[in-house]
Chains A and B, each alone.
Chain A
Amino acid sequence: GAGVSQSPSNKVTEKGKDVELRCDPISGHTALYWYRQSLGQGLEFLIYFQGNSAPDKSGLPSDRFSAERTGGSVSTLTIQRTQQEDSAVYLCASSLASGLVLDEQFFGPGTRLTVL
């Protein structure tokens, strides 16, 4: 079956521009997660959705970052007024979880964001 997909795979943008990153989770997975992987910070949690609601936004680094999920499926991570320190690989994961931490998260290939 299809895994988690993300688009675009690569994004180069200029400082100050807004970007949107998309994640398509595995069909039937109710939980969706965004992480960021950068050289200096390793793998960091950003936000988690259960269905369309986000009970945990604690990892969003600033108010320039926002995310939404509609129809319990596709999610979009938006970064406004991008800065060079936003350059990283943004990873999306999904799990079957009905609120259970037990379920493993399946990761997508990531979007590599470069802010010039």
Chain B
Amino acid sequence: AQKVTQAQTEISVVEKEDVTLDCVYETRDTTYYLFWYKQPPSGELVFLIRRNSFDEQNEISGRYSWNFQKSTSSFNFTITASQVVDSAVYFCALSEENAGNMLTFGGGTRLMVKP
């Protein structure tokens, strides 16, 4: 069965610090997809990135970057030069090809960026 673990329940940093949010997953499928979503205080989940299991290239989008390593079953998310607006709960999620289209979410990491 699929499982996603976000060991960090809460992280607090000061603005401009870099921060990495960890995500470890378990799956028996060879084809799967990994996602990160942001949930700001308003509550709406915002899609950040999708990565399939055959693409281990790291990705950078502005201050955001993602490190996908199949060898350690990890899909970590780094925010560079954090800003107060980055304060939110971040969820890592997994979708398996053989398990329909459902997303299995990790428990989330609450990031607090202080000015």
Determine whether the beta carbon of A102 is less than 8 Å from that of B44: no
B45, B50, B93: the one contacting A91 at CB < 8 Å is: B45
How far does the alpha carbon of A77 sit from the alpha carbon of B93 in the complex, in Å? 23
Q: Total interface residues on A, using CB and 8 Å? A: 28
Among B13-21, B58-66, B71-79, B102-110, the stretch that binds chain A is: B102-110
Q: Total interface residues on B, using CB and 8 Å? A: 25
Determine whether the beta carbon of A105 is less than 8 Å from that of B103: yes
Nearest-neighbor residue (CB-CB) of A108 within chain B: B44
Determine whether the beta carbon of B45 is less than 8 Å from that of A33: no
0/1 string, B77-93, CB within 8 A of A gives 1: 00000000000000101
Determine whether the beta carbon of A48 is less than 8 Å from that of B102: yes
A97 interfacial contact with B, CB 8 Å? yes
Nearest-neighbor residue (CB-CB) of A89 within chain B: B43
**Chain A residues in 8 Å Cβ range of B95:** 101
How far does the alpha carbon of A109 sit from the alpha carbon of B37 in the complex, in Å? 14
Nearest-neighbor residue (CB-CB) of B106 within chain A: A42
Nearest-neighbor residue (CB-CB) of A110 within chain B: B43
Nearest-neighbor residue (CB-CB) of A42 within chain B: B107
A56, A91, A106, A109: the one contacting B102 at CB < 8 Å is: A56
20 A-B interface contacts by CB (under 8 A): A33-B101, A33-B103, A42-B107, A43-B91, A43-B108, A48-B100, A48-B101, A48-B102, A56-B101, A56-B102, A58-B102, A101-B97, A101-B100, A102-B50, A104-B47, A104-B50, A107-B37, A107-B46, A109-B43, A110-B44
> Could you list which residues of chain B lie within 8 angstroms of chain A, going by C-beta atoms?
33, 35, 37, 42-47, 50, 52, 91, 93, 95-97, 100-108
